[in-house]
Amino acid sequence: MKTWKMLTVVISLMLASLAFVFFVGIQPKAISKIGISQFENSDVVVNSLFVSIEPDLISPAIFFLGIDTSDANDPMMKEILSKFWSKMQQTPHPFQAMVVDQSIQIPEGMQAEHFDFRKEPERFIEGLKSAEKQAIHLLVVVPVVEASPKIPDSLMSLARKTIYTENPAKVAGLVFTSFPRQRQQEEFVTVPCNTGEEDQGQTATLGCYVIQKARFLYRKKYPSGMHVGLLDQLGQEEFVFLLTREP
């Protein structure tokens, strides 16, 4: 009986591993924009970002910025948001307005409209329609899972499907999310890498990309406490900046 149970467990683990390998193996290949690097501060992060993809940041009409709120004690993301906004205001196509999900705290002094996107989806869509009619370059700051078209139920996907069906490139997204630097950290990733029936939130495409990317980088080591990260393009007007602290 024990032998049978052990065999069942082994087979289950093998099938799960094969499912993961098959799933990540069929995803479009990411295009590296910034290889894994260490970043001394938020200025270096934002400047590196603009050097790499500035045309992609200023051309879309609606820009979704996904913020990882998993580490409330790390001020880096607030600094990045503030400096990202300031840098955009110096471009030929600056943002004219910003709306922020109420779950995200923005730096003091930044002017933005806050509301709960998930509780007021009709208001969100109407706001996007109004911005489109008035040709307003709009920044939408949301949690990570809402800023990726890889997640079918995300707000970015909703915008593309309801307003910009004929020209989805007018909606772009940049996700800032943490990533594991050690195998034991994988269970704590912000976007779950669930597959099959367990993928209730349909986050597998993005979550499994994060895990797969991280596993290729475990052998690269940086000074403890240093911010390390990389930038990849996953699809049309879709970018992911993986950023975390070295253990």
Task: Supply the angle between the helices 42-58 and 76-88 in degrees, to the nearest 10.
Answer: 40
**How many domains is the chain built from?**
1
Residue 233: inside a domain: yes
Boundaries of domain holding 132:
31-245
| Any domain includes 183 | yes
In-domain check, residue 10: no
Q: Tell how strand 62-67 and strand 138-143 pair up.
A: parallel
pLDDT recorded at residue 120: 85
Q: Which residues contact 167 (CB under 8 A, 6 or more apart)?
A: none
State residue 28's pLDDT score: 53
17, part of any domain = no
pLDDT of residue 238: 92
In the chain (247 residues long), the average pLDDT of successive 10-residue segments reads 45 42 52 96 97 93 88 77 95 94 86 87 87 92 91 89 82 94 92 76 87 95 96 92 95
pLDDT at 73: 55
12 is a domain residue? no
Residue 15 has a pLDDT of: 39
Rounded to an integer, what distance in angstroms lies between the CA atom of residue 201 and that of residue 145?
A: 9
Q: What is the CA radius of gyration of the chain?
A: 19
Q: Is 35 part of a structural domain of the chain?
A: yes
232, containing H or E segment: strand 227-235
Q: Are 232 and 31 a contacting pair, CB within 8 Å? A: yes
